[in-house]
Amino acid sequence: MTLQQLAYLVAVAECGSITDAAERLFISQPSLSAAIHNLEKEMGVTAFVRSNKGVAVTREGEELLSFARMLLEQADIMQEHFGAGRRRDPRFCVSCQHYSFAVNAFVDVVQQYDADRYSFILRETQTGEIIDDVSSGRSELGLLYLCESNESVLSKLLRKNELVFEELFTAEPHVFISRDHPLAARARITLDELRPYPYLVFEQGERNSFYFSEELLSMLDMPKTIQVRDRATLFSLVIGLNGFTVSSGIIDQKLNSPSIIARPLDMDGSMRIGLIRKKNVVLSRYAVSYVAALKKHLSID
């Protein structure tokens, strides 16, 4: 086993194709295939399932990849410390629901590992895609919430995909509304008071059930609902239509409009916001730094 073979393994997993990985690595396809085959034989695993559409990582391949990334990271650290060799470009991907603190933490990681070249990805996306991204290895970490109404379904789905949920904090439900909203002066807001106003929710695609909803309230709970795909559109509608959405109550005025405020929602329930990752996978230093940055912005020891 060599570091070069491990780098080849990671490249194939990222490209999803022997051909594309060979082009990225500037080697021939037969040479790359032979290197991967020899590594699989030495480790006694089948890392990829080949088809005419490319390659798919197996479950034992995911475990092998986690160790490969860890060893490559350690080699980078050693080369950086002793000044020998060329470091690999930093790579990190996280998929999350639409939380401003997730963006703040991502900014911290990019600044911490600033370099001439890097490839960082932040995906604010649908709940189902977050689970798919982490399960498939496209993202190293995911960020979402569990609550009493969705926990049984999502926890089962996480176990099925060999993912684990690690809680960061528990948030009481809040509403995001405009500073000019008729209810803005209220210390707490009730559901009955919100019924005349549009309820803004993030659209969840084919899995558009309340189990995958990013908001604590089911869409059936309110008479007026509008579905959106991104945070900027949602906040524009909060301001323009006196709409509201339900979330953790944590808002960053630098990243979001200063016209948006949070108010406690008078209802039962709570949101257990946390990270999901592959079971028994060693996190990269970028993922470790991201977790630390999240805890900093959430003031978690």
Give the pairing type, strands 260-264 and 141-146. Answer: unpaired
Backbone angles phi, psi at 61, to 5 degrees: -65, -35
pTM: 0.76
Cα angle 287, 280, 61 (rounded to 5 degrees) comes to 95
- The predicted pLDDT at position 73 comes to 75
- Please tell us whether the domain made up of 173-267 is placed in CATH 3.40.190.10: yes
**Whole-number pLDDT of residue 171:** 93
DSSP states along the chain: --HHHHHHHHHHHHHTSHHHHHHHHTS-HHHHHHHHHHHHHHHT---EEEETTEEEE-HHHHHHHHHHHHHHHHHHHHHHHHT-S-PPPPEEEEEE-S-HHHHHHHHHHHHHT--SS-EEEEEE--HHHHHHHHHHTS-SEEEEEE-TTTHHHHHHHHHHTTEEEEEEEEE--EEEEETTSTTTT-SSB-HHHHTTSPEEEE--GGG-STTS-SSSS-GGGSS-EEEESSHHHHHHHHHHS--BEEE-S---TTTS-TTEEEEEB-SS--EEEEEEEETTPPPPHHHHHHHHHHHHHTT--
pLDDT of res. 35: 94
- The angle formed by the CA atoms of residues 180, 183 and 187, to the nearest 5 degrees, is 115
Low-confidence ranges of the chain (pLDDT < 50): none
The CATH fold assigned to 1-88 is: Arc Repressor Mutant, subunit A (1.10.10)
89-170+269-301 and 1-88 share a CATH fold: no
Cα–Cα distance measured from residue 25 to residue 28, given in angstroms and rounded to the nearest whole number = 9
> In the chain, what are the domain boundaries?
1-88, 89-170+269-301, 173-267
Please check whether the domain covering 89-170+269-301 is classified as CATH 3.40.190.10. Answer: yes
